[in-house]
Structure 1
């Protein structure tokens, strides 16, 4: 009798938990309905169907170009390029070559990812299911979340530095961190259409702000060009490490690039989408990169700039650059401060979808609530790491480039080898109507099965290749906390080869693993 009562009690507990859980979900859904009435996007990871897309191609094209100008053309991207001289000891020539070449390669990779957006109508991380499968993509989603959080944290810290510098330390760094976090989630909550409008609006003042930074700083560019410090092999190692950092600045857009093209017509030209993304990210990033490298070079000789950097990091350095303009200079710096909010909006928006894919339970939580949760985590992490800006930027962000490189090579090989009719026809073992679909579809993707685990690839080949690529990254990485056995041969501080070795390892094994996966499972 006692055991029966105990079982009954346990059952009651389960029922109560289910009722409470259901009540919470219902309340969140009611809030979602309210937000929907205000025009907010309540859609989660669901695919955007072709008939739901924007019919005016020119309109969405202008909005996305504005988004890239706002997100890439401000302080977020620029901040990495100061480190060539200030952290890695590279001269002006080496900083320019390393920074600009790597940035261009990263833009090309992000542009390649973006082409999947109009084709699929799926968010970038949802589209990754066609490569990693329904289950392994959850791990990939977690990696993507960490990446976006890393960028958001650096934005918050830099914003805090700027407000502290402008106010002569009267406004603590913590205030700037809180401001950026609040504004970022507020816009991200309202979804893609509002995001595109806000980003397009911010792009003009941000671009003008960077031009004014060129003008106000130009008077200090008459200092002699810096020369890379250290012996020849150490300089090469620093060159490669800075290369990896700048590559990550633009390549990591690939983890979310498709998110901003889901409203484009399904028949949008791949070449057009590639060019929009490539040039849309390249020009504003390069524009900010050059001024960042020039200021970093001049700060090596100009003592006031160097002291400002030592006291309040990049925020203090920028404030010192604008000092000749007094109050107007502070106003321009506040305008550039908006670019940090702009970038964080994009990060928060995309991270919510990665969160929904990371676990079944989380997928039931509305996107708007996840935006709030992600912003809260970002704010806390930024508050904790507020005094470690250069460490976070220089050591954490290149790691994001490793996994993007792996993701890129796997997708490239999947598209160019296994999604072609001549190969796919040999192994497909699915339904007759799907066979017909593949035969008639030049891209060999059936995006209608984006949420069907029984018809998506198993992801074994991509998963194993990913792990092998991680092993390659470990061998070639050069960070403050660890230098791989290959990287340590390049000077006193090593040279970061992680992205190249990880890409090579994954790309070498994936074709063989994918071949056997198709032969075994037919999907």
Structure 2
């Protein structure tokens, strides 16, 4: 079986499919073209500015009963705060040449990373299923039922998997082109709906004072998760940049590349959501055919041209799925060395495609709603990871707080002092220079040069305990969350920051003292 797969892999590679998996992109393999950065901006534009992000912001007024001012302020603040996480995570991409979850190995070690990978794949797969179902709903509504939802799901899934198979360079090119089309379409939604969205600015939140606070907290967490979850895959798309590329530039470039298109889509989503609360025809369309029916009605105001624009916006679901499928395949390879050495990346794309297609078909009537409630939980995991990463960099891998965006020594300086990557461990560098250790990215696949992950794993559990106490999800409301209003309030993210932030430094210090790495 394995030999057959390898034989097929050689034939597929000859077609131009990207054969690189999670292997490190070496400095001499990087691109010096200025178009790479433009392509990355296009990727964020298409992935963040379309329906996937926009769909979450409809829920402020439609699900949480928040008025115009509340939903607008809370939604945008949560979204902007979430943008900081992928912006910081992306800074490691050019410097390391490694995918995001490969970098997580330096924190969680070889065993706990398997759990992290499982959570990440479930999250990306969940978004893929949701996108596919929404795409099917749109085609169903546009065709007046002539295109079954199953066919719509199949179409968007097939288009997504083809591009994902051929690799990062094609992904970046396609995302750049589609991103321009998507953002233009979203901008056109403003004049398209101007008569419907201007008269509902006086909408107020439903419930007493404490209940409204709880709803604000829940919506804040949802919007925060929309952008924060990109931190799990951010550096995947920066490995082609030169390792000398400024990390400050990467941070602010990523921050604005995610925040701007997401804000454009978020505002129109919030406006339409508020209008749908009071506009009977829109409310009925949403109740009957979910988001697909509502969007079909909104774009229908411009007749045939409106339908054409909706198809263009529909493409954003595909581009978001492309990102999810591409990164999911890489994450699966990280689970075990045998996988990435023997199973090609494109084959793992097909596996993820098959699983998500089956789930989308099986749950086409209910799964989208379930996942919309479940997926904000991914923001919990990302928050734990972010807190650990920042504390590791600031406290244990940097001598000063100002070194947050740079590392102490270049890889060449370290390589000159050691003869093999097995010797280039963090402890060796620390002893030689008498300072706190930097990352040795050359030893990315050497377990002896990485931590055991004990501190990160225990801090993860402590942070998860905080999440359980403060979470407010459809299937469970934490003990502390229940005390906020009639429906609870999600404070899980804030408890995670406190629990993880206080526990990790203590645990990591103990790990260093006991194991020396």
- TM class by shorter chain equals over 0.9
Other structure's SS at 1:47 match: coil
Q: Distance in 2 between matches of 1:392 and 1:98?
A: 23
Q: Distance in 2 between matches of 1:434 and 1:359?
A: 23
CA displacement at 1:503 relative to structure 2 = 2.2
C-alpha change, 1:435 and 1:494, in structure 2 (3 Å) is: closer
Change (3 A) 1:432 1:396: closer
3-state SS, counterpart of residue 199 of structure 1: helix
Deviates more, 1:406-415 or 1:36-45: 36-45
- Displacement of 1:222: 2.8
1:396 aligns to what? 374
Of 439, 444, 453, 1:459 maps to 453
Paired position in structure 1 for 2:346: 368
- 1:363-415 deviations in whole A, cap 9, x for unaligned? 33111011011011111111222223663354111100000000000000000
TM-score, normalization by structure 2: 0.92
Contact 1:475 1:485 in 2 (8 A): yes
The yes-or-no answer on 1:341 pairing with 2:318 is yes
Measured on the aligned residues, the alpha-carbon RMSD in Å equals 1.9
Counterparts of 1:432-511 in structure 2 under 5 Å?
A: 437=429, 444-511=438-505
* Counterpart in the other structure of 1:192: 168
The equivalent of 1:20 in structure 2 is: none
Task: Select 2:247's aligned residue among 265, 270, 278.
Answer: 270
Offset from partner CA, 1:269-317 (integer Å, 9 cap, x none): 0111001110000000000000000000001111111111011111110
Tell me the CA shift for residue 36 of structure 1. 2.5
More moved, 386-395 vs 78-87: 386-395
Name the SS of the counterpart of 2:278 in structure 1: coil
Give, in angstroms, the shift of residue 115 of structure 1: 0.5
Q: Could you tell which deviates more after superposition, 235-244 or 373-382? A: 373-382
Flag the structure with larger Rg: 1
Q: 1:236 aligns with which of 213, 217, 232?
A: 213
How far, CA to CA, are the matches of 1:240 and 1:348 in structure 2? 31
| Alpha-carbon displacement from aligned partner over 1:450-474 (angstroms, at most 9, x marks no partner) | 1111221110000110011111100
What is the aligned counterpart of 2:362 among 368, 384, 388?
384
Equivalent runs, 1:270-309 vs 2, <5 Å: 270-309=247-286
The alpha-carbon deviation at position 422 of structure 1 amounts to: 8.0
| CA distance in structure 1 between the partners assigned to 2:180 and 2:187 by the alignment | 11
Q: Pick from 71, 85, 94: which aligns with 2:61?
A: 85
Instruction: Check 1:419–1:324 CA distance in 2 against 1; reply closer, same or farther (3 A cut).
Output: same
Partner of 1:33: 10
Q: 1:251, 1:404 within 8 Å by CA — same for their partners in 2?
A: yes
Query: Residue 448 of structure 2: SS of its match in structure 1?
Result: coil
Question: What are the Cα deviations for residues 193-238 of structure 1, in whole angstroms up to 9, with x where unaligned?
Answer: 1110110111111111112222211110132321100111111101
Provide the aligned length of Structure 1 versus Structure 2: 495
Alignment of 1:302-341 (within 5 A): 302-341=279-318
CA contact (8 A) 1:181 1:376 kept: no
Matches of 2:400 and 2:199, distance apart in 1: 60
Aligned counterparts of 1:385 and 1:150: Cα–Cα separation in 2 = 11
Partner SS, residue 300 of structure 1: helix
Determine if contact 2:221/2:490 at 8 Å carries over to the other structure: yes
